[in-house]
A = this chain, B = another copy of it.
Amino acid sequence: MVTISDVARCAGVSPVTVSRVVNRSGYVSEKTRQKVEKAIKELGYIPSAMARGLRLNRTYTFALILPDITNPFWTTVARGVEDAAQQREYSILLYNVDEDMHKQERALETVLSQQVDGVLIAPHDGLVSHLQPLRMRSVPTVIVDRRLNEVVPDWPVDIVRGDSISGAKALTTHLISLGHRKIAMVSGDERTTTAQDRVMGYRIALQEAGISCDENLIVYGEFRVSAGVEMTNHLMERGINFSAIFAGNNAIGMGVVRELIRRGIRIPEEIALVFYDDYANASEYFPFFTVVTQNAYQIGRTAAELLISRATGEHSEPREFILPSRLVTRYSCGSMLDDHHQSLLSLPIVNPKDLKEVVWEVPLLLPYPA
């Protein structure tokens, strides 16, 4: 490995001088600068971020702790974070924690040992105690997409998120305006603030419409496809009556769809469906689901920019950014269709037993032809 001393020896100067050239700090004569730069190039010297980090106590690295990088919402958040970070020459350490408290704890511990300059986290729950390690060591922190349940006066954290309450309220009100009175709510983990907020928005909408809320219609689970399947199944099995389903996020929504299709229940004719967060690319060519979308990219980008600002001491008082969301009404509630489209645009598209998908294993074509 080429070190600063190697460069120094090669250029006939001291390591200190090389450091000055590399960091453009202090006085260096033009002549020596050139000698040093030549040596750096010749030897292919790259400064060790580790040694520098050890000395400076700065790593130019942020940790990004997310529930699931497979979900396009989080993916887009990550993309926003990465773009903002890259622009300012920060690197991103990615941790996928699956809404699993244990994994989150492990990730936090690892992150602390890595001495990152800051942490972007979508915490599983709103308990500050679970972020205690960050607080103790006063690591600059930005909460992404979610809230904390407590206000912590002596720990300034920033928060960037959508307004789940207003979004959920809008979605529910939309369903009510279409005549639905019994709306099932299948949400995420009860401890997650977005799950809480979306149920809250749902409640507010019902209340404003003068509809009493049937607690049996509210189910908490997880923000995953499989949970969407199970919760739908659960509601059906218990014979609970409802004409619409509000899925707490896109993954749950997909699970609901899977289960409804399996049961041969048509959307929207038999059950209307809305969910929180879009599937952007799918919706483009098949704009079927009525959803609330958030600007995930902007959430990620803003969060990263805030973190940079905090990490570099540009601000220290806690800030909260609440980004607006949009209600996109499409076809999964039946509201947009005339008689013709009504029969056309419903899921399952064709009778499920006619739906086929043939899978062929493709044999490898090796060795390659020239």
Cα separation A281 to B228 with both chains bound (whole Å): 14
Taking a contact as CB atoms under 8 Å apart, the answer to whether B201 and A365 are in contact is yes
- Within A242-261, the residues touching B (CB, 8 Å) are 254, 257-258, 261
Q: Which of A78, A136, A285 has the largest count of B CB atoms less than 10 A from its CB? A: A285
List residues of chain B with CB within 8 A of the CB of A29: none
Given contacts A91-B114, A254-B284, A254-B285, are A366 and B49 in contact (CB under 8 A)?
A: no
Interface: A151 (CB within 8 A): no
Q: Smallest Cβ distance from A293 to chain B, in angstroms? A: 9
Cα separation A92 to B96 with both chains bound (whole Å): 10
List residues of chain B with CB within 8 A of the CB of A94: 64, 78, 82, 92-94
Interface: A220 (CB within 8 A): no
List residues of chain B with CB within 8 A of the CB of A93: 61, 91-94
Q: Which of A79, A356, A365 has the largest count of B CB atoms less than 10 A from its CB? A: A365
Q: Which of B70, B328, B369 contacts A204 (CB 8 A)?
A: B369
Taking a contact as CB atoms under 8 Å apart, the answer to whether B362 and A163 are in contact is yes
Given contacts A163-B364, A204-B369, are A136 and B50 in contact (CB under 8 A)?
A: no
List residues of chain B with CB within 8 A of the CB of A163: 362, 364-366
Cα separation A362 to B353 with both chains bound (whole Å): 39
For the residues of A in contact with B, the DSSP-based class is mixed
Q: How many copies does the complex hold?
A: 2
Taking a contact as CB atoms under 8 Å apart, the answer to whether A360 and B322 are in contact is no
A181-189, A230-238, A307-315, A340-348: which lies at the B interface? A340-348
Q: Which of B1, B49, B288 contacts A286 (CB 8 A)?
A: B288
Q: Give 1 or 0 for each of A326-340: 1 = CB within 8 Å of chain B CB.
A: 111110000010001
List residues of chain B with CB within 8 A of the CB of A115: 48-50
Interface: A361 (CB within 8 A): yes
Q: Give 1 or 0 for each of A285-296: 1 = CB within 8 Å of chain B CB.
A: 111100010000
Taking a contact as CB atoms under 8 Å apart, the answer to whether A357 and B344 are in contact is no
Taking a contact as CB atoms under 8 Å apart, the answer to whether B86 and A96 are in contact is yes
Cα separation A304 to B232 with both chains bound (whole Å): 36
Cα separation A93 to B44 with both chains bound (whole Å): 23
Interface: A53 (CB within 8 A): yes
Interface: A131 (CB within 8 A): no
Taking a contact as CB atoms under 8 Å apart, the answer to whether B279 and A362 are in contact is no
Taking a contact as CB atoms under 8 Å apart, the answer to whether B86 and A79 are in contact is no
A-B pairs with lowest CB-CB distance, top 3: A282-B282, A166-B365, A327-B360
- Taking Cβ atoms with an 8 Å cutoff, the residues of A that contact B are 1, 44, 46-51, 53-54, 57, 59, 61, 64, 69-70, 72, 75-76, 78-79, 82-83, 86, 89, 91-96, 103, 109-110, 112-115, 133, 136-137, 163, 165-167, 169-170, 201, 204, 225, 254, 257-258, 261, 279, 281-282, 284-288, 292, 322, 324-330, 336, 340-341, 344-345, 347-350, 354-366, 368-369
A46-B112, A163-B362, A166-B362 known; 12 new pairs, CB 8 Å cut-off, are A49-B113, A49-B115, A69-B79, A70-B76, A72-B281, A86-B103, A91-B110, A93-B94, A254-B281, A285-B347, A292-B362, A341-B350
23 pairs, A vs B, C-beta closer than 8 Å: A44-B133, A50-B59, A50-B114, A51-B54, A61-B93, A70-B75, A70-B79, A72-B281, A86-B103, A91-B114, A166-B363, A167-B362, A201-B365, A204-B365, A204-B369, A225-B281, A257-B285, A258-B284, A261-B285, A287-B357, A328-B360, A336-B356, A336-B358
